[in-house]
Chain A
């Protein structure tokens, strides 16, 4: 996964690093990662999904500390991962940085 030139990885760069999701213009629900259509409104949402920058603030729903890592992360063990609920609603899986390990 290390090769950043592979399109399947640079394609998502704006969303991944700038936390840009989208919002259904019909029911106003916010999604991250952005979706092509809203699972609640389905066909009525097509063409009404609008980009939405997220604040990056949220609360931790749960966490773990990874000791057995995928190949590309073996150098970083142990490292914490968490599921975070962003203030706008969507949840993400992310690595927690700048945090002591307990």
Chain B
């Protein structure tokens, strides 16, 4: 396997983008990434696109071919592959594209992630997000993705003494970071009172504990490291990539307060890169709900199991903390167009490692981690990147 680098990044704004269609979004992100990288379109060998549920959100499947055409590559007849793993679709698309370059089959590929979620009403979006759960044994009885994370939160509070305020502080931190990110859906700090007093979504999680419904797309250009210097002076090297699965329904797991998919994916990625959790300078983790960020920092080994809530109190994960988490604002404030999320997390890590993150720049960031979860943890992708 040969070394692979990220040499280009392109993002659309995230939010309720009424005037942009599914195909507008992914084409815009792709074009920006190509311009950022300095490659020409003719050099692209393949496209990999993460999309969780274009079929339900916009009534469109056959997404690979659609994206190839709407991005202007139909006449080149290159392969285009849609990848799905619920809201880990983007991270997994990245991993599949990485394999194709690392193996030597391709030299340059485009990784896209896209979702257009606001064309449906709220309850339809809730239903579609719940397709990442077990439809027959969780969702059938009226549970939702928020409900499932809420049950994890209730148990985390019972087992470890995690508090409602600690959950809310995750959102406070991520909104403060989002306020510094020009791509974020919410560019505004929010006081803890607003989060605590927001209407309930699923007890103990209120509306502001949940990532929003968003439209958006992100694209990255991957290139074999041996050719990357031809295009850029600051390629970002992929030093670890792994994916893991777990028992599909949350109730089937022995300990519902840990995602074994995150634990295993992180361990494998650290081993591949020859590093440990201590070496991570900056991380983008899957905070689809506030409790999810607490689980993530525990499962990735930044803090011990059960100490995630305390870590928030002790500001370990703020921009100037020991391990800054979600400098972009995370899914919570940057937005969560589900298929785009995994790619957008890696895009933020690339900005951080290139020193291009402006006001939200983490100082001396050399090694970064992106953590992308599918559903309520039945799948997880962890990616490690290094500035060179």
Contacts and interface: CB of A to CB of B under 8 A. Distances in A.
A67 B252 contact: no
Interface string B235-252: 000000000000001111
Contacts of A66: 142-144, 146-147, 202
A93 B143 contact: yes
Nearest to B138: A93
B200 A73 contact: no
Contacts of A92: 137, 251
B124 interface: yes
Given A62-B256, A93-B137, A68 B151 contact: no
A71 to B, nearest CB: 5
Interface residues of B, number: 36
A62 B155 contact: yes
B246 to A, nearest CB: 12
A68 B130 CA distance: 12
Given A91-B252, A93-B141, A94-B141, A69 B123 contact: yes
B194 interface: no
A33 interface: yes
B141 A81 contact: yes
A63 B141 contact: no
A12 B136 contact: yes
A93 B130 CA distance: 14
Contacts of A83: 151, 250-251, 256
A4 B141 CA distance: 14
Interface in B189-234: 199-205
A81 B147 contact: yes
- Size bracket, chain A contacts: 20 to 34
B314 to A, nearest CB: 26
Residue picked from A1, A65, A68, most chain B C-beta under 10 Å: A68
A58 to B, nearest CB: 11
A70 interface: yes
B154 A68 contact: no
A71 B154 contact: no
Contacts of B144: 66, 68-70
Interface string B76-117: 000000000000000000000000000000000000000000
A9 B141 CA distance: 12
Contacts of A9: 140
A62 B123 contact: no
B207 to A, nearest CB: 8
Interface of A: 1, 8-9, 12, 16, 33, 61-74, 76, 78-79, 81-83, 91-95
Given A64-B202, A66-B143, A92-B137, 6 more contacts: A64-B151, A65-B200, A68-B201, A70-B142, A91-B251, A93-B138
Interface of B: 122-124, 126-127, 130, 136-144, 146-148, 150-152, 154-155, 158, 199-205, 249-252, 256
Q: Which 4 pairs, one residue from A and one from B, show the smallest C-beta to C-beta distance? A: A64-B150, A62-B155, A65-B203, A91-B251
18 contacts: A8-B136, A33-B136, A61-B251, A61-B256, A64-B203, A64-B204, A66-B144, A68-B202, A70-B126, A70-B142, A70-B144, A81-B143, A83-B151, A83-B251, A83-B256, A92-B251, A93-B138, A93-B250
